[in-house]
Structure 1
Amino acid sequence: MTSGMCVRCGGRIAALQKESVVREKARQLSDQASYPVIYRMLKGVMLCGICLDALPLIGHEICQRCGRDKEFQASTGTEGLCRDCVHGEDDQILVANRSLLRYEKGEKDLLGLFKYRGDERIALYYGTLLAITVQRYYRSMGFICITTVPLHPQRLRERGFNQVDLLARHLGAAIKIPAKPLLLRTKDTPKLSKQKGRTARHESMLKAFVWNGQGMPSAAKILLLDDIYTTGSTLRSCARTIREHLGPSCEVYSLTIYR
C-alpha cells in the first residue's frame, strides 16, 4: 500500500513500511494524552519511513526559553537555560520559543526550496510539523490567534509571497486557531545570515515592525510564527511591538520549525 510521494527524497511512501517508524516517533514526541493526536499527524506527514526516521528531532532536554537542544551550561547556576539565554536579554518580551527540528544541512536545502519557490506540498508538510510541535509543547496554552513575522514590502514584491503566511494557514486549519496579521515591517533589514554576530542582528531589528492589528484583548496569549529561530532577534522585535501595543499582560510565545 502506498500513499503519495515523499517531499524529501521523492520516493513512494509505503504506508506499511512507515508504520513502525510512526509509532516510535509518536512515543518520542508525546505523552499518553497527546499520543493519539501526534500519531495521526505523523501518519499523514508526507515522508517515507526512511526520511521520517532521519528527521533531526530536538530531544527532551532543551533550554526552557529558546528551545535549543542539549545546550545546558551547568556552571551558570541558572537551571534550564542555555548559555545564550543566560547572558542575553533577561526579560519576558518573548516568554518562550519551541521548535521541532535542529537546523542541519539537509534541512537548510529543503527550507530554501520552500522559501524561494513556495511549493504547496512543502507548506503542508511544514504546517503538519508545526502542528505536531504545538501538541508537543503548547497544547494547553489557549492562544487567541496565530500571527506571523511579516516581510518588508520590497522583499515581498521580489519573492511574491510570504512563506510564513502559508505555514500559518496550514497550522491554523490543523489546530483550529485563527491566523491574524498583527504587524507591518517598516525596516528593510539585511538578511540575518549576512549579518555578523548577535549584537549586529539585535541592532538591525530595533524598531523594524509596527502594529497593524485590530480588536485584540490586552490579556491575550499570542502564538508568533516563523520558520527558524537563529538568535531570536526578529521574534523578540515582533514580540516587543505586540506588547508595546497590548500592554504587559499580553504573553507572546513563538513557534518555529527549526532551532
Structure 2
Amino acid sequence: MRDDSCVACAGRIVLQAKESTSRNLARQLSSRTRYPVMYRLVAGLSLCAACLEQLPLIGEEICLQCGREYAADGLCQDCHKITGETLQSNRSLLRYNEWGKDLLGTYKYRGEERLAAFYAKLLTIVVHRYHAGTSFDCIATVPLHEQRLQERGFNQVDLLAKRLGADIGVPVRSLLLRTKRTAKLSQQTGRTAREESMDGAFSWAGEHLGQAGESPYRILLLDDIYTTGSTLRSCAKTIIEHAGPHSHIYSVTIYR
C-alpha cells in the first residue's frame, strides 16, 4: 500500500480534490473544539476525496449514554434497561457497516501499519469532538486473552492507544488482564448471552493509580467497536472494584 494511496479503496489521494470535503467535515465535527485542530486531523486522514465523502459519520443526535445515533433526547431503549452502569459515557465516530467491517478486518488480521495510523487518528477525532477540554489521567485498553494474542500477533487497540496517547498527551497504562477466553461477540446471539460471557472476563493488572483526590481519576477506555457495551462495562467494573468509585471511566470507540 503506497503512502499516497487511500487506505479504503487504494486509489490515489489528491489533496486538492478532498479540500472542500475536509473543510465541511471539520466544521461539522468542531462544535466543541477549535476548527483548525479538527481540520488538521480530518485533512490528514489517508482517504481519497470519494471515500472521505462517504465516511459513515455518526450525526449530532445521539444517545447520551452509549453514543448511538438516536433521534430522541436522552437515552436509547437499550440504555434505559441497564442497571448499575459502570461507564460515564461512550462516544464513537462511525456507524459500523460493511465498509467498516471489511476495513477493520484487514487491520486486525493483516496488521496493516497505515491502518493503525488511520484508526488512531479517528480516535483522536472522537476525543476532540466529544471531550475537548476534558483532562484524562490515563488511557487504558481492552486486553486480549493470551491465546488470542498469540494467534493474532498483536493487540490492535494497544497500537492505537500509543498513538492516541502521543497525540493528546495522556499516558497509556496497562490496568487489566483478560482471564477468560470468550467467543467472538459476532458469534454470540443476543445481549444477554454477550453480557454473561463477559462476566468475570477481566482481572486487575496491579497498577497503582494513586490516592483519590478532590477530583475523580478520569480514565479513557479504548476499544474498536461498541456493540452491546458488555465488554467495556465489564472492564469498567473491574477497574472500579480495584481503583475505587472515585474512578470515572469514559469509553471511546471507532465504530458504533
Preserved CA contact (<8 Å) 1:34 1:136: no
1:211 alignment counterpart: 204
Aligned pair partner of 2:75 in 81, 89, 94: 81
Letter in 1 for 2:220: L
For 2:193, the equivalent position in structure 1 comes to: 200
Q: Is the 8 A contact 1:127 1:170 kept in 2?
A: yes
Q: Contact 1:71–1:83 at 8 Å: present in 2 too?
A: no
Give 3-state SS (helix, strand or coil) of 1:167's partner: helix
Residues 145 and 103 of structure 1, relative CA distance in 2, 3 Å threshold: same
Q: CA deviation at 1:33?
A: 4.2
Post-superposition Cα deviations, 1:174-220, rounded to whole Å, max 9, x if no partner, equal 11111111100000111111111000100110111001142313431
TM-score, normalised relative to structure 1: 0.94
**1:246 CA displacement:** 1.0
2-structure distance, mates of 1:71, 1:28: 18
Contact kept, 8 Å, 2:142 with 2:222, in 1: the verdict is yes
Q: Which aligned segments of 4 or more residues in structure 1 are displaced greater than 6 angstroms?
A: none
> CA shift at 1:59, angstroms?
0.2
* 1:23–1:213 CA distance, 2 compared to 1 (3 A): farther
Distance change >3 Å, CA 136–CA 213, structure 1 → 2: farther
Partners of 2:196 and 2:33 lie apart in 1 by 42
Pairing 1:140-179 to 2, within 5 Å after superposition: 140-179=133-172
Say if 2:14 is the partner of 1:21. no
- Taking structure 2 as the reference length, the TM-score comes to 0.95
Q: Find the residue that maps to 1:4 and give its secondary structure.
A: coil
Cα offsets for 1:74-100 (capped at 9, x unmatched): xxxxx410110012x233411100000
Equivalent residue for 2:40? Answer: 40
SS in 2 for 1:13: coil
- 1:128 and 2:121 correspond: yes
Out of 88, 93, 101, the residue aligned to residue 95 of structure 1 is 88
Shift of 1:71: 5.2
Verify the 8 A CA contact 2:144 2:178 in the aligned structure 1.
yes
CA-atom RMSD in angstroms: 1.3
Alpha-carbon distance in structure 1 between the residues aligned to 2:94 and 2:244? 32
- The one of 228, 242, 248 equivalent to 2:225 is 228
Aligned partner of 1:31: which letter?
A: S
1:246 to 226, 239, 243: 243
Residue pair 2:63, 2:74 contacting (<8 A) in 1 also? yes
